[in-house]
Chains A and B, each alone.
Chain A
Amino acid sequence: MQLALFIIFGLLAVAGAVNFLLQRHPINSALSLVVVMMSLAVLYWSLGAEFLAAAQVIVYSGAIMVLFVFVVMLLNAGEEERTHGSRAAYIAGFPGAAAIFCLLSFVFLTNGKAFGSTDLTSHLTHAVNNIAEISQVLFKDLLLPFEVTSILILVAILGAVVLARKEQ
């Protein structure tokens, strides 16, 4: 069951990502990004991370994608005009990417054992359920990083104000 889910939604995520790159109209790209996000959410859910799956749907597929689509609409972005780009990128890009992919797969497949495996279930033994455990971490152990993130967002807002300001 899990394997079937993984294969279906894994392929769907990859297909969505490829389509995202190939589409020339920004709206089509944005919509294929939704497919990627949703497939990833299903993968998270199949791994037992229900909270992460829900957050993925709400934050990425919901908030961020709506923002993307709005920006595309507001800018009235038309079909993409392709530039030729650099010749070196065309010639070296595909073989280079393929070579790095092959090298990495080779290393991981041959030395997979050396990386060892970890089992994180031991850290979840006290958990009543997933959500309860997450709220324990978020509002107790990691309360300060959670709160301080508000300063981070404040700085980002300040940055947006500075960037949007007109120079006299």
Chain B
Amino acid sequence: MAPNVLALLPEYILTITGVLVMLADPLFPDEKARKPLGWLAILGTVAAGLASWYQLRFGVLHAFYGTIQVDSFSVFFHLLIAAVALVTLLSSLDYFEGHANVAGEYFALVLFGATGMMLMTCSVELLMVFVGLEISSISTYIMAGFRKGKAPASEASIKYFLLGSFATAFFLYGIALAFGATGSTRIDAIAQGLATTSAPTLAFLSLALIIIGIGFKVSAAPFQVWTPDVYQGAPAPVVGLMSTAPKAAAFAVLLRILFSGFPAYEHRWAALIWIIAALSMFVGNLGALMQRDVKRMLAYSSIAHAGYLLVAYTAFPADGIASACFYTAAYAAMNVGAFTAITIIGGYNERARTIDDYAGLALKRPALAAALGLFLISLIGIPFTGGFFGKFYVFSAALHSGNVWLAVIGLLNSGIACFYYLRLLAALYAKPAQQNEHATYSPVTVPAAIALTFTAVATVLLGIAPNRILGLAQRSASVTTNQSSPLQPSAGTVSSTGTH
């Protein structure tokens, strides 16, 4: 296979499937459900995941004049994005209820969005990253407003679009300044250009603008204001997708830019990330404490998790990158799982909104309540779940690098977080409130059950046997750091923390 084909195989598969879905959509009668298109999209996503796995055996692949670099780092995130897209598609197959005849565009948008995210993670050229970021963002803006005729949905879409475009402008301006300071927009060339640049302040300014742009995308404080409103108004399966996959891609981009592009400025950006991480944890957790709406609560929780994840960035590169990759995977599994459960419980018309609406769920739907409970336990970070090991690796990486205070802040915040997760967990197993006694829940369909089982198994496996994913994460970390600066201190690997 030609290198240009092989290196972008998953993206090609997703794009072609997306176009097929678009072309096949008008062939259906107007009022007919578009479920077969959903299955086609699922097939394409699985094929893209397998193609990504297949790329792993070729080591590092370069394509398109060095714009694309496929290595174990990108494959790790490709698999993650494909898995999230798969779960989203499975849980949305029966989501649309009476509106299933318009779902064709939705399935195509999920596929195109995943293409953009994958391009972001395998690109070493900032302009390519920018185009990928725009593809993924624009698809999510549209999907956020997919429930037409509902005011919160329109609000979510418009707000997300305006603030998101604003953030992308920051990112683009950062790229332009990086080009001005170093003469290139290619990440490795930027690292070389930094050594000889005559405008170091300009270079740092460019990095700061890039961090602001990505901070918006991953909803880190103080760039988080859009998150609660957008998550509340967007359809639940879309929130599951956009709270994990685009964030994972943005975190991957940030890892590459910081550790391969700007390692020379580590002492300066580490301070910025420190502040953003601490602020995100506090804003997220304290904000979540005050929410009664479950989707808003999980929005604040996702801000807090972005904070935990950023803690890893302040650690030594080898430790930090591996633990950040692992945390992204664990967070994706449990968060997408939680939103799958919410999708099934609430349905298209969001029958369950506040915590009170979830009261007594365990009596009527014990399996569903148990699954949601598992995800909440993992989000708290209780042992034998993926969330526990994620936090464990991140905080121990921070401690190893001497970042004691940030680790302390993180642990403190994990304590605060217990309150609001447990409040929902307690509601699930409490006696149903008066008005809830006759609440009806739609039956759990087979695809949704598969999605729920898949995420639950992933969450548990990451908690019982984290070594396999951690091994993959460490392989990714080695790819990202080996081309960088002489400034790096020799760092122990995460495995030295006694997990094997």
A65 to chain B, nearest CB (A): 20
| Residue from B113, B128, B139, B142 in contact with A163 in the complex, judged by beta carbons closer than 8 Å | B142
- B251 contacts chain A at the CB level, 8 A cutoff: no
Q: Which residues of chain B have C-beta atoms less than 8 A from A152's C-beta? A: 116, 131, 134-135, 138
Q: Which residues of chain A have C-beta atoms less than 8 A from B197's C-beta? A: 116, 118
| Residue from A123, A148, A159 in contact with B119 in the complex, judged by beta carbons closer than 8 Å | A148
| Residue from B63, B64, B102, B201 in contact with A116 in the complex, judged by beta carbons closer than 8 Å | B201
A116/B142 contact (C-beta < 8 A), A144-B68, A148-B128, A152-B134 known? no
B455 to chain A, nearest CB (A): 27
Q: Which residues of chain B have C-beta atoms less than 8 A from A156's C-beta? A: 138
Contact size class for B?
A: 35 or more
A94 to chain B, nearest CB (A): 22
User: Interface readout for A104-128 with B: 1 if CB under 8 Å, 0 if not?
Assistant: 0000000100111110101100000
Q: Which residues of chain A have C-beta atoms less than 8 A from B116's C-beta? A: 151-152, 155
- B357 contacts chain A at the CB level, 8 A cutoff: no
Contact in complex: A151, B115 (CB < 8 Å): yes
A126 to chain B, nearest CB (A): 13
Whole-angstrom CA separation of A142 from B131 in the bound complex: 11
Contact in complex: A117, B139 (CB < 8 Å): no
Residue of A nearest to B136 (CB): A155
| Residue from A122, A123, A158, A165 in contact with B109 in the complex, judged by beta carbons closer than 8 Å | A158
Contact in complex: B199, A165 (CB < 8 Å): no
Contact in complex: B180, A143 (CB < 8 Å): no
| Residue from A120, A140, A145, A162 in contact with B125 in the complex, judged by beta carbons closer than 8 Å | A145
Residues of A within 8 A of B (CB-CB), count: 30
- A167 contacts chain B at the CB level, 8 A cutoff: yes
A-B contact count (CB 8 A): 100
Contact in complex: A116, B199 (CB < 8 Å): yes
Contact in complex: B22, A158 (CB < 8 Å): yes
Whole-angstrom CA separation of A144 from B134 in the bound complex: 15
A137 to chain B, nearest CB (A): 10
| Residue from A120, A149, A155 in contact with B139 in the complex, judged by beta carbons closer than 8 Å | A155
Q: Which residues of chain A have C-beta atoms less than 8 A from B146's C-beta? A: 162
- A154 contacts chain B at the CB level, 8 A cutoff: yes
Q: Which residues of chain A have C-beta atoms less than 8 A from B63's C-beta? A: 144
B271 to chain A, nearest CB (A): 18
| Residue from B112, B148, B200 in contact with A158 in the complex, judged by beta carbons closer than 8 Å | B112
- A141 contacts chain B at the CB level, 8 A cutoff: yes
Can you list 27 pairs linking A and B with CB atoms under 8 Å apart?
Answer: A111-B201, A114-B201, A115-B201, A115-B202, A116-B181, A116-B199, A116-B200, A118-B181, A118-B199, A118-B202, A120-B180, A144-B64, A145-B67, A145-B125, A145-B128, A151-B15, A151-B115, A151-B116, A152-B135, A154-B112, A155-B142, A156-B138, A158-B22, A158-B112, A158-B142, A159-B139, A163-B145
Q: Which residues of A contact B (CB under 8 A)?
A: 111, 114-118, 120, 122-123, 140-145, 148-149, 151-152, 154-156, 158-159, 161-163, 165, 167-168
A-B CB proximity, top 4 nearest = A116-B199, A144-B64, A159-B142, A167-B148
